[in-house]
Amino acid sequence: MINAERVFHRLQELGKIGYREGGGVTRHAFTSEDRAAKDLVIKYMKEAGLEVREDAVGNVIGRREGKNPQAPVVLSGSHIDTVCDGGIFDGALGIIGAIEVLQTMNEQKVVTEHPIEVYAFNDEEGSRFSFSMFGSMGVIGRITEEDLAKKDRQGISVAEAMREQGYDPEKFRDAIRSPEELKAFIELHIEQGKVLESKNLSVGIVTGIVNELWMKIRVIGEAGHAGATPMNFRKDALVAAAEMVQVIEREAKKTGTTVATVGRLNVLPGGINIIPGQVEFTLDLRDISQEVSDKVEREIFKEIDRICQERGVRVETEILQRIPPAPCSKGFQLAAKRACEKIGLEYFCLPSGAGHDAMQMVNICPIGMIFVRSKDGISHNPAEWSSKEDCADGVKVLYHVLLETAVPI
């Protein structure tokens, strides 16, 4: 069966790329760390006996042939990039786990009807260019010229960053796959929450993935003298923004299922003795139900309008991305249950609060996700941890699901 030592060794080796002492792992899209990580994954894919290629948007793909090379491909994998100071499991486990499954199939001379491909997706986190899932968007044909013009905080555009790494941004459409050539996409990922740990289970079967609304909100007040401006004459953009952040938390808490986060906030002009004239902050809003998410969004903006009236400020908003919730196919969920029963693993079915490449792939093929327990539910943090045993359980479930989906002969 699968080689747990090899999986864990590779996770730790890949986790060293982009790691900084006292911090975590940072591997942003189209950087030297990103390139080094792709080169190491290419090495693993070759050791596994896969046919390796890179596509036009920076995904790395390893292919294992089936008996019928024309049969629709079964896809697996996850993302190779990380957030700032992230952990070594987020994304990496799905790539290393899928490579392990195919290497084990090769070692055991397993034959399947369908080919299987592992994707190491580029830029799922959106950490550098403020919109996520660039690699999987490239596969489903969702990238636009506007996306290529989006800039990072140093003013470098996606297209420039691609060129710096040797990609031709004009060719981004070459990465597109058609629905006819795909059978399913199955992603192994850490849970990044506390549910499996609370049930003392190593693996979970994902029922669906929440929606993702990312927005930039600019509050425009009036800069002024901190000493000479009486309190009742101010249009303080920061105090207004602070009230808005509280409203966002309050409205999200009301539903019991919604999550909302203000992850970035910049104050301008930023002088000690200047009343803030402008504040720009981000909103990340999610719920498994699009309807609930839309309602919370409406309530938040009703309150923001009230605050603007009361404080004499105004807001400008910019939608960074709107991704709908993604259901995991019933066929996958049954196959995953059969896999757990075959291995003798208890499991729990749960939605994913985190976003994943699978929510793009659902537009061109059925999807499935298998979760592995996260210690203390921590992720997007250097303390992110899953045990070797739990990772091995997840890879075993992935093995049986990919084998069944690719039809063993």
Q: Which residues bind ligand HGY (CB under 6 A)?
A: 124-125, 132, 354-355
> In angstroms, what is the minimal distance from the CB of 398 to Mn ion?
15
Task: Give the integer Cα–Cα distance in Å for 191 and 157.
Answer: 32
The number of C-alpha atoms within 13 Å of 46 and in the hemisphere containing its C-beta is: 7
> In angstroms, what is the minimal distance from the CB of 138 to ligand HGY?
16
276 binds, among Mn ion, ligand HGY, none (CB under 5 to 8 A by kind): none
Judged by beta carbon, residue 238 or residue 288, the one nearer ligand HGY is: 288
Q: Is 126 in the site for Mn ion (CB under 5 A)?
A: no
User: In the numeric block, which tokens belong to residue 67?
Assistant: 């008996």
> In angstroms, what is the minimal distance from the CB of 122 to ligand HGY?
13
Task: Give the integer Cα–Cα distance in Å for 159 and 174.
Answer: 15
CB 132 within 8 A of CB 123: yes
Q: Which helix (H) or strand (E) holds 207?
A: strand 203-209
> In angstroms, what is the minimal distance from the CB of 120 to Mn ion?
12
Judged by beta carbon, residue 34 or residue 124, the one nearer ligand HGY is: 124
Of 13-21, 85-93, 272-280, 394-402, the segment contacting Mn ion by CB under 5 A is: 85-93
Q: Is 193 in the site for Mn ion (CB under 5 A)?
A: no
Judged by beta carbon, residue 3 or residue 381, the one nearer ligand HGY is: 381
Of 62-70, 91-99, 210-218, 273-281, the segment contacting Mn ion by CB under 5 A is: 91-99
Task: Give the integer Cα–Cα distance in Å for 259 and 254.
Answer: 10
Among 101, 270, 104, 249, CA closest to 186? 101
> In angstroms, what is the minimal distance from the CB of 125 to ligand HGY?
5
> In angstroms, what is the minimal distance from the CB of 186 to Mn ion?
15
CB 279 within 8 A of CB 218: yes
CB 377 within 8 A of CB 193: yes
Q: Is 90 in the site for Mn ion (CB under 5 A)?
A: yes
Q: Is 357 in the site for Mn ion (CB under 5 A)?
A: no
355 binds, among Mn ion, ligand HGY, none (CB under 5 to 8 A by kind): ligand HGY
Judged by beta carbon, residue 247 or residue 359, the one nearer Mn ion is: 359
Question: Which of residues 62, 72, 91, 351 is near Mn ion by CB under 5 A?
Answer: 91
91 binds, among ligand HGY, Mn ion, none (CB under 5 to 8 A by kind): Mn ion
> In angstroms, what is the minimal distance from the CB of 21 to ligand HGY?
24
Pairing of strands 259-261, 212-220: unpaired
Q: Output 384-390 pairs: Cβ under 8 A, ≥24 positions apart.
A: 384/24, 384/86, 384/87, 384/88, 384/89, 384/90, 384/190, 384/192, 385/87, 385/89, 386/89, 386/93, 386/190, 387/202, 388/4, 388/5, 388/7, 388/8, 389/4, 389/202, 390/202, 390/203
132 binds, among ligand HGY, Mn ion, none (CB under 5 to 8 A by kind): ligand HGY
User: In the numeric block, which tokens belong to residue 269?
Assistant: 């002009």
> In angstroms, what is the minimal distance from the CB of 124 to ligand HGY?
6
Judged by beta carbon, residue 278 or residue 386, the one nearer ligand HGY is: 386
Task: Give the integer Cα–Cα distance in Å for 239 and 375.
Answer: 37
Residues making contact with Mn ion (CB under 5 A): 90-91
